[in-house]
Amino acid sequence: MTEQAAAIKVRGLHRRFQLGDQTVHALNNINLDIAQGEYISVMGPSGSGKSTLLNALGLLDIPDEGEYWLAGQNTVPMSEEERAGYRRDHIGFVFQSYHLVPRLSARENMELPMVLAGIPPAERRKRLAPIISRLGLDERADHKPEQLSGGQRQRVAIGRAIIMQAPLLLADEPTGNLDTHSGADVVDLLEELNAQGMTLIVVTHDMALGQRARRRIRMVDGAIVSDDRSVVNVDATSENNIDKTTDIQPDTIPSQEPRS
């Protein structure tokens, strides 16, 4: 893992929002190295900057300060057009409220990134078929979002996120609007994609879901306050239940205690 070039390298990232005469420091000196294929959860209180971080990693928002290298490219100086192209090729995004286009069918929603990328219809159909099956949406592909359950809508959103075969999947509270059962289905699907090599970063309020990730990041007030790779599974039959944080390189542990 440590030999691998970082898929994501973030240095000194800041994002501030002006609210009247108050400045909200939504990201306060974020430093991160993420290798291809990692499975990371981001947790923390509401307002701690989790969505702002995900939006920055997803190139949906531009930081005020700092560097963000994605697949070896410094993304901060990119033009809006370059950023859009980079987003299309490298990043899939799944939101809590699905963000599907209401007047398009499930199939058309998933097809949309390919349409925007100029992929011809025959090729689009070829790529869509196995994904629709895998998402269990064969019977529902021609339905509009309003005719689908929450779990099905989120599956469509995941289909759209992975159709361009982007190596990075970002999910902001992907199970936040789902019942336990459909939430578990969505998590299984995300973890299956991660097992096949996609980097998976999931923002969640759900402790149980957060603990499933191999690496768990905790944010408070716009800063990363812990970055934990210890093994959490308690194995009663052995002494394996010890802290295994030694694979964190010292230079990747951010020191972000608030200045006093």
- In the structure encoding, which two tokens stand for residue 247, read together? 């694979």
**65-70 and 39-43: which strand pairing?**
unpaired
- Chosen residue from 30, 31, 39, 50 binding ligand ADP by CB under 6 A: 50
Cα distance between residue 233 and residue 107, in whole Å:
39
110 binds ligand ADP (CB under 6 A): no
Cα distance between residue 233 and residue 68, in whole Å:
33
Within residues 7-46, the interface with ligand ADP by CB under 6 A covers 17, 19, 24, 26, 44, 46
Within residues 130-159, the interface with Mg ion by CB under 5 A covers none
- Chosen residue from 51, 55, 204, 256 binding Mg ion by CB under 5 A: 51
Cα distance between residue 32 and residue 251, in whole Å:
10
- Chosen residue from 52, 109, 175, 204 binding ligand ADP by CB under 6 A: 52
47 binds ligand ADP (CB under 6 A): yes
175 binds ligand ADP (CB under 6 A): no
Cα distance between residue 205 and residue 218, in whole Å:
11
41 binds, among ligand ADP, Mg ion, none (CB under 5 to 8 A by kind): none
Cα distance between residue 69 and residue 62, in whole Å:
13
CA torsion 153→156→160→166, rounded to 10°? 100
Q: How far is the CB of 169 from ligand ADP (least distance, A)?
A: 18
Q: How far is the CB of 95 from Mg ion (least distance, A)?
A: 10
Stretch of 47-55, 103-111, 224-232, 244-252 contacting ligand ADP, by CB under 6 A: 47-55
- Closer Cβ to ligand ADP, 173 or 185, answer by number: 173
CB–CB of 35/91 below 8 Å?
Answer: no
Residue with the closest Cβ to Mg ion? 51
| Residue matched to tokens 């694979």 | 247
Chain centre to alpha carbon of residue 196: 15
> In sequence order, what are the residues at sequence separation of 6 or more whose Cβ sits closer than 8 angstroms to the Cβ of residue 47?
none
CB–CB of 37/214 below 8 Å?
Answer: no
Q: How far is the CB of 152 from ligand ADP (least distance, A)?
A: 25
244 binds, among Mg ion, ligand ADP, none (CB under 5 to 8 A by kind): none
Residues engaged in binding ligand ADP (CB under 6 A): 17, 19, 24, 26, 44, 46-52
Tell me which residues touch Mg ion (CB under 5 A): 51
